Structure 1
Amino acid sequence: MNHVKKAIFPVGGMGSRLLPATKTLPKEILPIINKPIIQYAVEEALKSDITELIFITGRHKRPIEDHFDTAPELELYLLNKKKFDLLNAIKSIVPKKTSCIFIRQPGPLGLGHAILSAEPVIKNEKFAVILPDDLIDADTPTIKQLINISNKVDSSVIAVEDVLLEDIQKYGIITQENEYKNQKISKIINIIEKPCIKTAPSNTAVVGRYILEPHIFKHLQKTLPGLNNEIQLTDGISSLMKEKNIFAYRYDGIRFDCGNKTGMFNANIYFGKKYHGLVPIKNEK
């Protein structure tokens, strides 16, 4: 049974890797074909039966709020033009009985701080965290996969995958016990944020999908600023592991890191071909 009804979307980052496009436009609003990155993340949550969407925003992030708001003038225009498919597309961005909550983070204080900011809304419930930068195409939504596993093991679950050695310093890296049951689930015994290759315990990296128990909040409250002088979610998870089991899950799906140009480029080609029937133009000599 799905007990997770709330999802946090940390969207307060600066998006510096995509400048100058993100000088005035949030990176989460940049499109993959005809949808902004953040909409793919929200659709993943909605398909996983999540009904409360909690956005941790920052300065210059107002376009995200506008995207999930109603647009009466545009809706009337599309209605008058009898463009019903487009009208339905924008009206269905946020279904009825789904609530959007926006909390402003005062600065780039870290992912751990962003999650802690949502404590008054989450209260004492298990919740999801979805990082929109990690766009994942999967038959079963990735966060739904994690919810199912979390219900089975009655614990927090984090999505992981193996990464190239040269990319290790970009991720939280875990050490895990022997694979559990179906070779996709394992107990995490150590986690470290963005280690160098020489000190990394493995090449198994955390990606942007989490199911966390509310116990994480008391550990984040005690977490001091770490790497980049930010409160790291990884450090809070490491502290939580001392009192509760946390599991890693090797999810099924194809991931694109849309926080950089290469990931954005590849995601547009992949989604354009698979879901829109688009074919790259061949240059004629």
Structure 2
Amino acid sequence: MHKIRKAVIPAAGLGTRVLPATKAMPKEMLPIVDKPAIQYIVEEAVAAGIEEILIITGRGKGIMEDHFDHAFELERNLETNPAKAQMLEQCLGIANLADIFFLRQKETKGLGHAILKAKPFTADEPFVVLYGDDVIMGEDPVAAQLIRAYGETGRPCVGIKEVSREAIRKYSSMKCTRIKDNLYDITDMIEKPAPGQEFSLYSILGRCLLTPDIYPLLENTAPGAGGEIQLTDAMAVIARTGGMTGVDFTGKRYDMGSKLGVMQAQVETALRHAEIGEEFRSYLKQLAASL
């Protein structure tokens, strides 16, 4: 069985739900305290053992490439000030996280279309997909949880969580039965189900592990929900014919494509932050007392 070395991060979306903040700033670069959202996602992949990462971007998102590159003028400035040694170490660490590549999706035709663009990069290897909207924090990286499940079952995997009946309309619905512990056998799925169409309240939330078998299916997938090529439609074929493994993952997910999700990520990450956590907690207590 192949070692999972590669990851794909689709990050070409327009971020319309968080306008006007994303008019000139990609939503993936919105800060969560002192790091942009995309960095948390890349760090998750690296913590799971991923060595090569392809970030699929769109027009106006070149700032992401700059973030993961060396900033020589900044680095030289930090080098001259011993008091800023930790900042220098952080900047150098970002540039050396992994081998990161970028590819522009010239037309926003959906998640399935974006993943299809990764075919030359992944070639004949299985790979992890980490959605650019979804920052998931926890001690056990979700990508690593999927990799372990793949090693155990030998099947493509998806990270799933149970959501509300209202939320399932915006996501996907899994037809699944529990195998053991947090693993589920998935035999069908549907994207953005209408009322009464849902199989269950379990939905894919931000993470998949796919094999090259996905590509011929994507090449023959007609536009689905929203007129886009849906990754879910291609995965549904795999689920119906060979089955997939659902991993009810541990970790807290933040939807960086929504205003509420952005604020939840900010507040909860600040509370855990080594530098400002205690002071911020005191501030929130004072603020709460005045509400």
Q: Which residue identity lines up with residue 224 of structure 2 in the other structure? A: G
Q: Which residue identity lines up with residue 106 of structure 1 in the other structure? A: K
> Quick check: 1:31–1:37 contact (8 Å CA) kept in 2?
yes
1:275 to 254, 273, 276: 273
Q: Deviations over 1:216-259 (max 9, x none)?
A: 01111110111111110001101223432211110011111121
> Quick check: 2:7–2:53 contact (8 Å CA) kept in 1?
yes
Q: Secondary structure at the match of 1:39?
A: helix
Task: Give the Cα separation in 2 of the matches to 1:9 and 1:241.
Answer: 22
Task: Give the Cα separation in 2 of the matches to 1:209 and 1:220.
Answer: 18
Runs of at least 5 residues in structure 2 that lack an aligned partner in the other structure = none
Q: Which residue identity lines up with residue 273 of structure 1 in the other structure? A: L
Bigger Cα displacement from structure 2, 65-74 vs 2-11: 2-11
2:185 corresponds in structure 1 to 187
Task: Give the Cα separation in 2 of the matches to 1:208 and 1:241.
Answer: 18
Task: Give the Cα separation in 1 of the matches to 2:255 and 2:2.
Answer: 28
User: Which stretches of structure 1, 4 residues or longer, exceed 3 Å deviation after superposition?
Assistant: none
Structure 1 residue 2: Cα displacement? 7.5
> Quick check: 1:168–1:197 contact (8 Å CA) kept in 2?
no
Identity within the alignment, %: 37
2:133 corresponds in structure 1 to 133
1:196 corresponds in structure 2 to 194
Q: How many matched pairs?
A: 282
Q: Which residue identity lines up with residue 170 of structure 1 in the other structure? A: K
Task: Give the Cα separation in 1 of the matches to 2:152 and 2:94.
Answer: 31
Task: Give the Cα separation in 1 of the matches to 2:108 and 2:233.
Answer: 17
Q: What is the CA RMSD across the aligned residues, in angstroms?
A: 1.5
Q: Deviations over 1:19-64 (max 9, x none)?
A: 0010011000000000000000000001011010101111011111
Task: Give the Cα separation in 1 of the matches to 2:197 and 2:79.
Answer: 59
2:96 corresponds in structure 1 to 95
> Quick check: 1:5–1:51 contact (8 Å CA) kept in 2?
yes
2:114 corresponds in structure 1 to 114
Q: Which residue identity lines up with residue 90 of structure 1 in the other structure? A: C
Task: Give the Cα separation in 1 of the matches to 2:14 and 2:198.
Answer: 27
2:241 corresponds in structure 1 to 243
Q: Which residue identity lines up with residue 44 of structure 1 in the other structure? A: E
Q: Which residue identity lines up with residue 99 of structure 2 in the other structure? A: S
Q: TM-score, normalised by structure 1?
A: 0.95
Q: Secondary structure at the match of 2:253?
A: strand
Structure 1 residue 209: Cα displacement? 0.5
2:123 corresponds in structure 1 to 123
Q: Secondary structure at the match of 1:192?
A: strand
Q: Secondary structure at the match of 2:272?
A: helix
> Quick check: 1:2–1:147 contact (8 Å CA) kept in 2?
no
> Quick check: 2:157–2:209 contact (8 Å CA) kept in 1?
yes
Q: Which residue identity lines up with residue 249 of structure 1 in the other structure? A: V
Alignment of 1:1-285 (within 5 A): 3-82=3-82, 83-95=84-96, 98-177=98-177, 179-182=178-181, 184-276=182-274, 277=277, 278-279=280-281, 280-281=283-284, 282-283=286-287
Q: Which residue identity lines up with residue 232 of structure 1 in the other structure? A: Q
Structure 1 residue 175: Cα displacement? 0.9
Q: TM-score, normalised by structure 2?
A: 0.93
Q: Which residue identity lines up with residue 222 of structure 1 in the other structure? A: N
Q: Secondary structure at the match of 2:168?
A: helix
Report which of the two has the higher share of helix.
Answer: 2
